[in-house]
Amino acid sequence: MTPQRQQVRLRLEKRRGKPVTVAAGLVLPAAEMKELLRELKNLCGAGGTLKDGELEIQGDQREIIRRYLEGKGCRVKGG
């Protein structure tokens, strides 16, 4: 499935008092998810991980991630 046909949900969570931006709803092969995570980490200048099919980026990065994913053609909700 291509990113253009997907709907992504962004949310901000607190982990040990620190913000974490979570992008859920992407259904991509593992290699593509890892590549997307790498691109987002570089773009945001923050750490991150892939956990249970969700991308987690340290800090409140919702606007940066929203603009990036919308530029790729994804529909983004939340955040």
Q: What is the mean pLDDT of residues 48-53?
A: 95
Laid out side by side, the sheet with 75-78 consists of: 48-51, 54-58, 18-24, 7-15, 75-78
When the pLDDT of each residue in the chain is averaged and rounded to a whole number, the result is 92
Domain positions in the chain: 3-78
When pLDDT is cut at 50, 70 and 90, the band that residue 5 belongs to is: confident
Query: What one-character-per-residue DSSP string does 2-69 give?
Result: -GGG-EEEEEEEEETTEEEEEEE-----HHHHHHHHHHHHHHHTS-EEEETTEEEEEB--HHHHHHHH
pLDDT in tens, 7-22: 999 999 999 999 999 9
For the domain 3-78, what is the CATH superfamily, name and number? SUI1-like domain (3.30.780.10)
User: Cβ(9)–Cβ(25) under 8 Å?
Assistant: yes
Task: Note the pLDDT of residue 47.
Answer: 97
Task: Note the pLDDT of residue 78.
Answer: 86
Q: Quick check: 54 pLDDT over 70?
A: yes
